[in-house]
Structure formats: C-alpha cells, structure tokens
Structure 1
Amino acid sequence: MISYLEFEKPVAALEARISELRETAQGGEVDIASEIKRLEAKSAALLKSTYGALTPWQKTQVARHPSRPHFCDYVERIFTDFMPLGGDRLFGEDLAIIGGFAKLGDRRIMLIGHEKGHDTQTRLRHNFGMGKPEGYRKAVRLMELASRFGLPVVTLVDTSGAFPGVEAEERGQAEAIARSTEACLSLGVPMVATIVGEGGSGGAVALASAERVLMLEHAVYSVISPEGCASILWRTSEKAPEAAEAMKVTAQDLLGLGVIDRIVPEPVGGAHRDPAAMAQSLGKAIGEEIDSLAGKRPDELRDLRAKRFLKIGA
C-alpha cells in the first residue's frame, strides 16, 4: 500500500476513487471499465504534472519517503554475489553502513552504503542510517581492500547525517569522517558515488568524495537538513521550506553548480512507486560510469577527483 505525502492528496483521492470503482465492478452488474480507464489516465497525468513541478521541500519529503528503496533493496535488485564484511578491527560493527564484495553484471566491485531500514525494528537496528565512527572506519578498511585488489568502489549514500550521540563523539566521530573522506580522495581505483535518498552533511561526504557523483532525480544533498538550517537562521523549523529553497539541495540545482555529475531519472511518482524500474536505471548508470573510468591510472583518478572538487564554486 502506497503512503501518500501531503502534496499528493489530490492523487490519493483519485486513486481511492479508482479502487472503489474496481470493487464495484467486481459484482459484474455495471460496466464501468471506461470510467476507470478515464480516471486512471487523469491520475497518471496529475501524478506526472505534480512530480514535474516539485519544490525543494517537496523533493526533501520524497527523498525521505518511508517506502523509498534503500541499500539492501538495491543489493537485491542490482548486484550479485554480495559478500558483506563487518567490523572496523578497532571497536565493533556498525550496521548503519554496510559494505562488501559484489558484482555488477560481470564487473567485480567493492560496494558500500548507508542502510536506514523500513520498519521500527530495522530502523533501530541500522540506527536510521546514521553512521558511527566504527562505520566510517569500516568504510576506510574496505576502500583500502578494494585498492589492494584493484576493484572499483561503488557507494550508495542515504543518510540524514552521521550519528551525533555523545558515545560517537567520544570514539572520534569527526576524525573518522575526515579519514573516510581522505580515503575516498586518495583511492587508486575508480569510485562512483550515488546519492539515492538523503545526502546529509559530512556523513554523506565521507562516502561521496568520488570522481563521479550521481544523484537520483528526487534525492537531496546538503551540508545540513532544511530543518536544522531554519532552526539556526530563523529559530524555528517551520521555515524549513524556505531553507530548502535557499540551500539548493536538489539534484537539478547541484548539477548546475557542478557538485554532482549526473542525474538518474526516477519513475513517475518517485523511486518508491517502482523500485524495480529504479534499480534497473541506477544499475545501468553506475555500470556506464565504471566503464568510462576503466583503464585510468591511479594518479589520473586522483587528479580527476582533485579537479572536480577544486572547481566547485570557482
């Protein structure tokens, strides 16, 4: 069952009416197929027009949709032979960040990403996708392993930010994020990062400092959440829509600013409406980017990363 967002209420009303008519039609007494077909066409057109004119705040809501595909969903649909590797060899395991060997088609890769979870139990288990120091240190370990074996690194970023708890700070959260960012920039193998939902703060940058950064059509990427920005500037989170507009958090804005390199289109109505189609498009885009980087020397790859980040804002 689809969970509708506030701005989708007109679509929800139409789709509810269609469901009612279908139940009525099951009785067989009245032929209302033509009416159902007309409403379905109207609903599809309304959904397309709605998603074709989303505001930055509405895109933020779509990026956070509870049914939006996460890391584990993409692992099931895009990648094969996934072998998760756990632990940072220093403190423990962090299930907010998952990684391991995998295959994309016939390409062997190192896959790393944030997992938020889909229900209360899995969200608590994965800490809502908010990585702790051990998660970022695990990511560094896996990137170094990939470099040793000559495997491209693919990351799927989806986090509201790194975990801000006291215990994370005690274990060196800032240092762990900085080390992970450094590891991305110094990799001697190709790296392709994709913002699949929320790309929040340093928690996202730590896995997204690649030479090719992709972003799903309705994903968001920013240094702070719109609510956090509004709380600082206006002392109230109610100004979040205005903050989202000013912060340029959307894929379309960030492509224009040179922060990302490519937008991956989503199915009409967002990735959560057709996860299989979304996975197919994403897998194809990542594969193309990996192939475009194949054969480049380690120093060329590092130079590519340095140039792409240094030119941002120039």
Structure 2
Amino acid sequence: MNSTITAEPRLSTYEKIRLTRSAHRATASDYIRHLFTDFTELHGDRRFGDDPAIVAGLAHLFDMPVTVIGIEKGKDAYGRMNRHFGFVGPEGYRKALRLAKEAEKFSRPVIFLVDTQGASCGKSAEERGIGEAIAENLFELGTVRTPTLSLMIGEGGSGGALALAVADEVWMLENAYYSVIAPESCASILFKDPARAPEVSDYLKLTAHDLYSMEVVERIVEEPESFAEGELLDTFMDKLASDLYGKLTHLSHEDTDRLLAARYEKYRKIGRYPIYGAAAKKRRGWFL
C-alpha cells in the first residue's frame, strides 16, 4: 500500500465528504489505539476546564516519545454528544497548545489528528474567547521548537481544523477534506439552497488531491477499503505508523532554526499561484 498517491480520485467530491461523516470511519481514538503505545491522556487547559472534544496526551510511536493531540467526534449518539460532535471549544484549543508547549520543553514531536466540521460557535464559546484561542494557536504553533505533523483523518472544517494544522507537514487521508467552509453552508450563502452542496463542493477544491496540487499538504495517505477491525485496518495502521516514524525521525534531525524557517515559508507561500512555467503547469494545471 502506497503512502503517497496522485492518481485520479475514485469518488466524487461530495461522495468523499459524505464518507468522512460516516459513523463507521475511524476516529482519533481509534488511531491512537492502533498507532501508539503507552498512551497517557492529559486533561485541562489550566484556565477554565477540560474539553472532551480534544483527546490528547503522551505516548510512544515505536521507541519515540511523542505528544498526540486529536479531535474526537465519537461514534454512537451518546459518544458524539459527550464529545460535542467534534466541535472544539476554547479550552480544547488551549489544552492542545499547553501540551504542544510542554512537548517543546522536552523535545517531543507532536502529532495532530484533525477531524472536525469546525470550532464551537455557541454563545458560551464566544464568551470564553474562541476566536482568541484559535488565533493564539495559529501564532504559537508556527514557532513551537519541536517537529510537528498534522494528519487530516476526516473532516477539516475552517479555522477549527487550521488551529491544529500549523505544522511542519500536513498529511491527508485520500477521502478527507479540508476547506474554509462546509459545502452545505457555502450553497446556503451563495444560492440559498443547501441542496446544491454537491455542485458547490467541486468549486471549493477541498479534496486531498486538490490540496496536494496546490502544495497545501505534503502527502496523500491511501485508505483501506474498510475501517472495520481486521487485517486491512491493521495493515493500514502499521504502514502509517512506520511512515510517521520515518518522517518524524527525519524532522528531529533537522536544525531547529531551519525547521522553523521552512515552516514559516510553507505557510507564507500558500495562496501564491504562479501562472507561468512548466512546474506550475504540471502541478497546478487545473486552474491555468
């Protein structure tokens, strides 16, 4: 099974979006259980409380101590309600940043597992500073002095996802999406008709293949045919763990100042779309 794929997608854009919302898809807790050993969950932002939408703690990736921070949606109705359906509140983002800064202190690589339709937008989240919490993560994670890697395992909705995706590398599962807005919301705004979401989703360029072509993500991870427990899932997780270990080992050997400079430039160049040259045509041909 290849870890990076560039072949044409097998599903339509909206079919992929629906697939990411399936209750049968692996969640952050499933990845933590399969990829890591000795996981010890940590709680609280040391300001207000704990956010169950963020599951985070210390673990080992083979023999490498790491910090793992994931957005957990839950699977059944009770689990999703308990996890706030993956809508992270300000204390969740502050907990994530607290653990990332702790990882920096002990030189542990950080792995983010992203799967959310967006940040919490309720009255209480606004009162506790959800906008400020997201902004602080964007600023601080850009300069945290330890290797970081963000893995999009399902939905990647707007600033709620971006707040855990400022990293040295961003990988996406082949059927995941990463977008400034959900297609249903976009269709409601543009056409006053959420039923036009399948049409709008193609224009948003939110799939792993779209974002790889724009150099927003570094790798597309091929998915197993099923996320049900069994040999296919075990093979997928074993390969993913090996790939993560290899990449984080490489990043750990990089000079820290050079790592930060590359991270800074990675995000500065997003949105710069060259319209001339063979390289641009080869990688970004769809909008030329």
**TM-score, with structure 2 as normaliser:** 0.88
Greater Cα radius of gyration, structure 1 or 2: 1
Paired position in structure 1 for 2:269: 311
Contact 1:70 1:117 in 2 (8 A): yes
Task: Give the aligned residue type for 1:310.
Answer: R
Q: CA RMSD in A?
A: 1.4
- Say which SS state the counterpart of residue 142 (structure 2) adopts: helix
Deviation, structure 1 residue 76 = 1.1
Mapped partners of 2:222, 2:179: distance in 1: 19
Contact 2:86 2:116 in 1 (8 A): yes
Closer, same or farther in 2 for the Cα pair 1:215/1:295, shift >3 Å? same
Mapped partners of 1:243, 1:207: distance in 2: 25
Deviation, structure 1 residue 283 = 1.5
| Equivalences for residues 230-241 of structure 1 within 5 A | 230-241=187-198
Q: Cα deviation per residue 1:239-294 (whole Å; 9 max; x = unaligned)?
A: 101111000111011100111000111113x5458433332232222112202212
Mapped partners of 1:237, 1:264: distance in 2: 30
Paired position in structure 2 for 1:13: none
Paired position in structure 1 for 2:159: 202
**TM-score, with structure 1 as normaliser:** 0.81
Mapped partners of 1:302, 1:79: distance in 2: 26
1:91 is aligned, of 48, 59, 72, to 48
Q: Cα deviation per residue 1:119-173 (whole Å; 9 max; x = unaligned)?
A: 0111111101110000000011001100000100110000010011110011000
More helix by proportion, 1 or 2? Answer: 1
Paired position in structure 2 for 1:254: 211
2:91 is aligned, of 112, 134, 146, to 134
* Greater mean alpha carbon deviation, residues 300-309 or residues 130-139: 300-309
Deviation, structure 1 residue 312 = 1.6
Mapped partners of 1:254, 1:271: distance in 2: 24
Mapped partners of 1:108, 1:140: distance in 2: 18
Unaligned runs of 5+ in 1: 1-50
| Equivalences for residues 87-166 of structure 1 within 5 A | 87-166=44-123
Deviation, structure 1 residue 64 = 1.1
User: Percent identical across equivalent pairs?
Assistant: 43
Paired position in structure 1 for 2:281: none
Mapped partners of 1:68, 1:220: distance in 2: 14
Paired position in structure 2 for 1:301: 259
Contact 1:188 1:297 in 2 (8 A): no
1:220 aligns with 2:177: yes
Task: Give the aligned residue type for 1:126.
Answer: R
Superposition misfits of 4+ residues, deviation over 6 angstroms: none
1:72 aligns with 2:25: no
Deviation, structure 1 residue 201 = 0.6
More relative contact order, 1 or 2 (CA 8 Å, 6+ apart): 2
Mapped partners of 2:220, 2:157: distance in 1: 18
Contact 2:208 2:220 in 1 (8 A): yes
Paired position in structure 2 for 1:211: 168
The total of aligned residue pairs comes to 263
Mapped partners of 2:92, 2:227: distance in 1: 26
